[in-house]
Amino acid sequence: MAFFGKNVVAFLLMTTLFGVSLGAVYKVGDSAGWTAMGSVDYKKWASTKNFHVGDEILFNYNDQFHSVKEVTHQDFRSCNAASPMAAYTTGSDSITLKNLGHHYFLCGFPGHCEAGQKVDIMGTPVSLRPSASPNYPSSPSASSQLTAPSPALNTASSLQFNKLLWAFVPLALLAIGF
Ligand SMILES: [Cu+2]
C-alpha cells in the first residue's frame, strides 16, 4: 500500500511538473495556415504573439505547393532557400523553439517567399509572459495578476509554480493515505 501511494505521488508530481513545462502551440497563419495565396501577413501574425522556448510552431500546408525552410537572417532577407539550416516537407510540421532570439522560416518554392510566405519567429524569455495563459496578449487585467512589477527573470513563472505546488500538497497527502 505504501508502495502504491508513493507511485501515485510520483505520478502526480511528474504530471504537475510536466504540465508546468509544456509550451503553447502556435499555428502559423491561424486558419489560413502556411500559404502564398490570399493575404496572410505573417509579420503581423507573428507580432501579435509572445513566443517562448518550448513553444510549438505548427506549419500546416499543402506539401505539393509549399515547404518550410529555416534559414539565416541574410537568406531570410534575400529569400534564398538554397542553403537552409533545416528543411521540413510533410505538410504538417511541428517545430519546437529551442533557443531565444530570431528563427527565420520561408517557403522553398520559387516566388513564394517573395510573395510574402516568410515568417520571423522571435523567441522571448518566459518572464515576459504576463499571465498563466500563454495565448493571451498582455492586457491590464493580466498584468495586474503579478504581485510585484519586478523585472527579475522568472518571477511570474515561479509564482505560478509555487501556487501549483501548494495545490498539489493536499493531493499528495490524500494519495499517501493521510
Ligand atoms: Cu509556398
pLDDT digits (tens, 9 = 90+) for 36-86: 987 799 999 999 999 999 999 999 999 999 999 999 999 999 999 999 999
The pLDDT score that the predictor gives to residue 175 is: 58
* Cα 108 to middle of ligand 1, angstroms: 6
The pLDDT score that the predictor gives to residue 126 is: 78
The pLDDT score that the predictor gives to residue 1 is: 47
The pLDDT score that the predictor gives to residue 10 is: 55
Q: Please name which of 6, 46, 43, 4 lies closest in space to residue 26, comparing C-alpha atoms.
A: 46
Please, what CATH class does the domain formed by 23-152 belong to? mainly beta
* Cα 154 to middle of ligand 1, angstroms: 38
Spans of all domains in the chain:
23-152
* Cα 86 to middle of ligand 1, angstroms: 16
Q: Please name which of 97, 88, 107, 98 lies closest in space to residue 42, comparing C-alpha atoms.
A: 107
* Cα 136 to middle of ligand 1, angstroms: 29
The pLDDT score that the predictor gives to residue 7 is: 58
* Cα 64 to middle of ligand 1, angstroms: 9
Q: What pTM did the predictor assign? A: 0.62
Say if residues 156 and 149 touch (Cβ distance below 8 Å): no
Find cell 501515485 and name the residue.
8
* Cα 32 to middle of ligand 1, angstroms: 13
* Cα 109 to middle of ligand 1, angstroms: 5
Say if residues 43 and 106 touch (Cβ distance below 8 Å): no
Beta strands across the sheet bearing 56-60: 25-27, 56-60, 92-96
Q: What residue ranges of the chain have pLDDT lower than 50?
A: 1, 11-12, 15-16, 18-20, 128-129, 136-165, 169-171, 173-174, 178
**Gap between the Cα atoms of 71 and 48, Å rounded:** 22
* Cα 158 to middle of ligand 1, angstroms: 41
